[in-house]
Structure 1
Amino acid sequence: MIVRLATDADIASVAALRLRAAEEDAEDAGEPITDPGYTDRFTEWWHAEKSHRRFWIAETGHPIGFCCLVLVTRMPKAGQPAGAWGYLSNFFVLPEHRDAGVGAALMSALLKYAEDLGCPRVVLTPSERAVPFYRRAGFSPAESLLLKVNATE
Structure 2
Amino acid sequence: MTNVEVRPAGPADFEAVAELRWRWVAEQDGLPGDGRAAFVAEFAAWARENAATHRCLVLARAGRVIGMAFLAVTPRVPTPTAFERASGDVQSVYVVPEARDGGLGGLLIDATLRLAEELGLERVTVHSSSRAVPAYERQGFAVSPSLLQTRAKPAG
Same fold (TM over 0.5): yes
Matched position secondary structure for 1:85: strand
- Structure 1 segments, 4+ long, off by >3 Å, are none
Decide whether the 8 Å contact of 1:58 with 1:65 is kept in 2.
yes
**1:9-45 Cα shifts (integer Å, max 9, x gaps):** 111110111111111111x4xx664314212221231
How many residues align? The count is: 149
Q: Distance in 1 between matches of 2:153 and 2:98?
A: 36
**1:99-145 Cα shifts (integer Å, max 9, x gaps):** 11211111111111111222121101111221122112211112112
Tell me the CA shift for residue 98 of structure 1: 0.7
Q: Distance in 1 between matches of 2:130 and 2:106?
A: 18
The runs of 5 or more residues in structure 2 that have no matched partner are none
Instruction: Give the structure-1-normalised TM-score.
Output: 0.88
Decide whether the 8 Å contact of 2:15 with 2:41 is kept in 1.
no
Decide whether the 8 Å contact of 2:17 with 2:44 is kept in 1.
no
Matched position secondary structure for 2:82: coil
The runs of 5 or more residues in structure 1 that have no matched partner are none
Decide whether the 8 Å contact of 1:23 with 1:33 is kept in 2.
no
Partner of 1:87: 89
Matches within 5 A, 1:90-129: 90-129=92-131
- Percent identity among equivalent residues? 34
Change (3 A) 1:138 1:33: farther
Partner of 2:18: 15
* RMSD across aligned positions (CA): 1.7
Q: Distance in 2 between matches of 1:133 and 1:32?
A: 31
Decide whether the 8 Å contact of 2:14 with 2:48 is kept in 1.
no
Tell me the CA shift for residue 6 of structure 1: 0.4
Partner of 1:64: 66
Tell me the CA shift for residue 81 of structure 1: 4.2
